[in-house]
């Protein structure tokens, strides 16, 4: 499915799980917008200065970016990203908005 | 004794060395300005306007917002000439007095100079795609299949902006001829870029690709060769069908579409991108060709020969499927899922280029249709300049009778003001305004145009106003 890289409808919610497109200094990719720890706002995470990890603003839980970058196959064309989410055909799908941290907004 | 081999340095041209090499290539006599609007059965003559090239900077990568500027048109014209030195062209009427042009075009010197500047021109012309398209994540056969399904490439689509522009034009036949002209670089040497990929040796997909080429070439029966069908389409629409007759009327984006496939085919490291772009173009051509045949019949009547398009409605249903099932899937099977991102990238890059070309053509038709309005706009813009409300750089030009400014464009809006004499200002195929002393026209940014002097002499000014609308307030 396709959604916006930025602005309104920059978040694809697939069966309740939100995803956003992150543009970082280490590369761009589609990522879950919630932290696997306690569901914190990972779309507002900062990039660890020395490493390849995102730091969740809730409990500073660190999530490996290299694994995250592999998770969702996607292609960005201009301001639109098309991603292939698992089980999209049967899932409840909707678009919404999530602000992105400076480190994830490119 | 330790032997240290000389350090390897990859070949790259930059700065003055690049500029000098480009100018050297383009000053070949076959690339100089034409004294006529059309080339006459001479496939070797391509106007590259070498006199302007020293002032252009090709040592950069323009973004999408600047990809229609004159520098890009110049680069795409250069690339067309370079790529096509690999193809075989002969004049319809025989070589005769064109033998020297033939030798020049195919000479090792011309080809070597072209190859030297090609990588830099490709970086300039297609580098923007690195920013436009980005593939991420781990792609599998399953996710690729889902992506292909989501493209819905072979379903009926809405008419493009170009088709709408033709049908709503004040001169539909002229607009449709301009449209057919844009296809000529591609369709008259149809399938030549893809043939670059059937050379070599890489297993069963190579033979599958060859089957597509056999279809495109009409199974060796010349009258069914697709390029022959397109010649007949051109002729039935009142155009001529010799190679690059209408060189001066090609838009930058039309050349970009054609050159994109040469770019992928010439650089075999981009092979998998080509496969992706091939799939998308073949799959979408079915519906496009159905609409194109209907459009041409609506504009020109039943006398138009639309077989080029109706043939593709049929055969491209097979080609889209063949590209997917016989090329892409076996290639992924043989070489692994790591090739999928490149295939996806080829699909998306082609879609970007197609969108750019569609918008560019529709804008050009509007620009041609607005010729009389652009001429009327001279008065208020000229008033803004003479009253001092607007100050713009001005060039004073004097040209003799029959001087032809070969087609070009400008990076900002300009006002052409005729001081004395008569100019025929041309804004596209069969589209012009006659400008007399005291008259003129607004020239829109990035719009293809040229001019010819019809009086003994013409004195005129070009005012670089930047944005003509700011002169109206």
Q: In the β-sheet with A2-4, what is the strand arrangement from edge to edge? A: A2-4, A80-83, A74-77, B133-136
For position B379, what pLDDT does the model report? 97
Read off the pLDDT band of B55 (50, 70, 90).
Answer: very high
For position B50, what pLDDT does the model report? 98
For position B1, what pLDDT does the model report? 63
For position B154, what pLDDT does the model report? 83
Q: Cβ A84–B146 below 8 Å, yes or no?
A: yes
For position B251, what pLDDT does the model report? 98
Residues B138-157: pLDDT tens digits?
999 999 999 999 999 888 89
**Residue from B13, B44, B55 nearest B410 by CA:** B55
Residue B216 has pLDDT above 90, yes or no: no
> What residues in A contact B131, CB-CB < 8 Å?
none
> What residues in B contact A26, CB-CB < 8 Å?
none
Residues B247-289: pLDDT tens digits?
999 999 999 999 999 999 999 999 999 999 999 999 998 899 9
Query: Distance from first CA to last CA of chain A, Å, rounded?
Result: 22
Distance CA B176, CA B297 (A): 11
Closest Cβ opposite residue A76 in set B134, B143, B144 = B134
Q: Name every residue whose Cβ is closer than 8 Å to that of residue B436 and which is 6 or more positions away in sequence.
A: B418, B422
User: Which of B132, B134, B343 would you mutate first to test chain A, the one with the most A CBs within 10 A?
Assistant: B134
* pLDDT (average), residues B347-363: 98
Our CA-based measurement puts residue B258 at a distance from the nearest CA of chain A, in whole angstroms, of 20
Angle (nearest 5°) at CA B314 between B313 and B320: 85
Distance CA B251, CA B124 (A): 17
H or E segment to which residue A95 belongs: strand A93-96
Let me know how long chain A is.
106
Contacting A with CB below 8 Å, chain B residues are 64, 132-140, 143-144, 146-147, 150, 340-341, 344-345, 348, 351-352
* pLDDT (average), residues B396-418: 97
Token pair recorded at residue B66:
């600047």
Cβ-Cβ contacts under 8 Å between A and B: the total is: 61
The secondary structure of B296-315 as a DSSP string is HHHHH-TTS--HHHHHHHHH
> What residues in B contact A78, CB-CB < 8 Å?
64, 132, 352
User: CB-based contact (8 Å) between A74 and chain B?
Assistant: yes
Burial class, B112, CB count within 10 angstroms (exposed 0-12 / middle 13-18 / buried 19+): exposed
The secondary structure of chain A as a DSSP string is -EEESSSTT-EEEETTEEEEEEEETTEEEEEESB-TTT--BGGG-EE-TTSSEEE-TTT--EEEHHHHHHHB-EEEETTEEEE--TTTTTS-EEEE-----GGGB-
Q: Cβ B136–A28 below 8 Å, yes or no?
A: yes
Token pair recorded at residue B2:
């330790």
Read off the pLDDT band of A91 (50, 70, 90).
Answer: confident
Any idea which of B31-45, B306-320, B447-461 has the lowest mean pLDDT?
B306-320
Distance CA B352, CA B360 (A): 12
Burial class, A23, CB count within 10 angstroms (exposed 0-12 / middle 13-18 / buried 19+): middle
User: CB-based contact (8 Å) between A27 and chain B?
Assistant: yes
Read off the pLDDT band of A87 (50, 70, 90).
Answer: confident
Our CA-based measurement puts residue B140 at a distance from the nearest CA of chain A, in whole angstroms, of 8
Give the CA-trace dihedral at B141, B146, B148, B149, to 10 degrees: 140
User: CB-based contact (8 Å) between A68 and chain B?
Assistant: no
Let me know how long chain B is.
473
Residue B410's SS3 state is: coil
Residue B69 has pLDDT above 70, yes or no: yes
Residue B166 has pLDDT above 80, yes or no: yes
User: CB-based contact (8 Å) between A87 and chain B?
Assistant: no
Q: Name every residue whose Cβ is closer than 8 Å to that of residue B262 and which is 6 or more positions away in sequence.
A: B79, B83, B84, B193, B196
Residues B378-405: pLDDT tens digits?
999 999 999 999 999 999 999 999 999 9
Token pair recorded at residue B6:
């000389």
Angle (nearest 5°) at CA B210 between B205 and B213: 140
ipTM for the whole complex: 0.90
Q: Which residue of A has its CA nearest to B352?
A: A77
Detail the DSSP E strand segments found in B91-140.
133-136
Report the half-sphere exposure of B398 (CA within 13 A, side-chain side): 2
Q: Cβ B140–A88 below 8 Å, yes or no?
A: no
* pLDDT (average), residues B31-57: 97
Task: List the CATH code of the domain at A2-96.
Answer: 2.102.10.10
Residues A23-76: pLDDT tens digits?
998 889 999 999 999 999 999 999 998 768 999 999 999 999 988 999 999 999
Our CA-based measurement puts residue B385 at a distance from the nearest CA of chain A, in whole angstroms, of 39
Detail the DSSP E strand segments found in B351-420.
394-400, 404-408, 413-420
* pLDDT (average), residues B20-31: 98
User: CB-based contact (8 Å) between A75 and chain B?
Assistant: yes
Closest Cβ opposite residue A75 in set B135, B138, B140 = B135
Token pair recorded at residue B79:
């690339």
**Residue from B82, B142, B74, B143 nearest B110 by CA:** B82
Residue B209 has pLDDT above 80, yes or no: yes
The top-scoring range by mean pLDDT among A32-36, A50-54, B306-310, B342-346 is B342-346
pTM metric for this prediction? 0.95
Read off the pLDDT band of B315 (50, 70, 90).
Answer: confident
Residue B184 has pLDDT above 70, yes or no: yes
> What residues in B contact A2, CB-CB < 8 Å?
150
Distance CA B391, CA B296 (A): 46
Angle (nearest 5°) at CA B230 between B227 and B236: 150
Read off the pLDDT band of B462 (50, 70, 90).
Answer: very high
Read off the pLDDT band of B473 (50, 70, 90).
Answer: confident
């Amino acid at each position: 499915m396709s959604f916006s890289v930025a602005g309104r409808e920059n978040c694809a919610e697939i069966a309740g799980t939100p995803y956003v497109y992150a543009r970082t200094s280490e590369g761009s990719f589609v990522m879950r917008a919630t932290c696997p720890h306690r569901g914190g706002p990972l779309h507002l995470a900062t990039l660890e200065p020395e490493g390849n990890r995102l730091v969740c603003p809730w409990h500073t839980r660190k999530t490996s970016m290299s694994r995250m970058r592999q998770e969702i196959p996607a292609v960005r064309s201009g301001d639109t990203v098309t991603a292939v989410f698992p089980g999209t055909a049967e899932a409840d799908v909707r678009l919404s908005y999530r602000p992105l941290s400076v480190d994830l907004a490119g | 004794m330790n032997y240290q081999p000389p350090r390897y340095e990859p070949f790259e041209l930059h700065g003055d060395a690049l500029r000098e090499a480009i100018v050297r290539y383009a000053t070949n006599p076959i690339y100089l300005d034409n004294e006529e609007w059309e080339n006459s059965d001479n496939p070797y003559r391509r106007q590259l306007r070498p006199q302007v090239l020293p002032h252009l900077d090709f040592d950069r990568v323009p973004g999408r917002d600047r990809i229609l500027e004159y520098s890009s048109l110049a680069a795409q014209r250069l690339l067309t000439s370079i790529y096509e030195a690999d193809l075989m062209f002969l004049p319809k009427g025989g070589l005769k007095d064109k033998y020297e042009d033939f030798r020049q075009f195919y000479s090792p010197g011309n080809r070597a100079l072209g190859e030297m500047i090609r990588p830099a021109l490709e970086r300039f012309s297609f580098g923007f795609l690195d920013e436009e398209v980005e593939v991420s994540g781990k792609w599998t056969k399953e996710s690729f299949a889902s992506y292909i399904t989501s493209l819905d490439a072979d379903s009926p689509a809405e008419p493009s902006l170009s088709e709408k522009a033709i049908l709503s034009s004040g001169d539909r036949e002229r607009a449709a001829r301009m449209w057919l002209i844009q296809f000529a670089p591609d369709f008259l040497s149809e399938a030549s870029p893809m043939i670059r990929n059937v050379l070599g040796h890489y297993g069963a997909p190579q033979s599958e690709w060859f089957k597509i080429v056999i279809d495109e070439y009409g199974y060796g029966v010349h009258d069914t060769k697709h390029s022959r069908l397109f010649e007949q389409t051109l002729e039935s629409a009142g155009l001529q069908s010799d190679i690059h007759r209408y060189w001066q009327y090609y838009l930058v984006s039309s050349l970009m579409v054609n050159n994109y496939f040469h770019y992928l085919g010439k650089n075999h490291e981009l092979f998998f991108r080509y496969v992706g772009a091939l799939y998308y173009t073949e799959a979408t051509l079915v519906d496009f060709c159905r609409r194109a045949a209907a459009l041409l019949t609506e504009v020109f009547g039943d006398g138009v020969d639309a077989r080029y398009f109706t043939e593709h409605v049929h055969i491209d249903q097979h080609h889209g499927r063949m590209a997917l099932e016989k090329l892409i899937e076996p290639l992924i099977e043989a070489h692994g899922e790591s090739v999928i991102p490149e295939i996806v990238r080829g699909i998306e890059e082609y879609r970007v280029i197609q969108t750019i070309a569609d918008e560019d053509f529709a804008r050009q038709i509007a620009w041609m249709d607005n010729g009389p309005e652009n001429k009327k706009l001279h008065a208020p813009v000229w008033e803004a300049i003479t009253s001092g409300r607007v100050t713009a750089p001005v060039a004073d030009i004097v040209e003799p009778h029959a001087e032809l400014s070969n087609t070009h464009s400008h990076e900002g809006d300009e006002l052409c003001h005729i001081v004395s004499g008569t100019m025929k200002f041309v804004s596209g195929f069969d589209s012009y305004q006659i400008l007399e002393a005291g008259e003129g026209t607004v020239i829109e940014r990035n719009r293809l145009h040229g001019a010819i002097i019809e009086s003994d002499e013409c004195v005129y000014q070009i005012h670089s106003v930047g944005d003509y609308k700011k002169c109206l307030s």
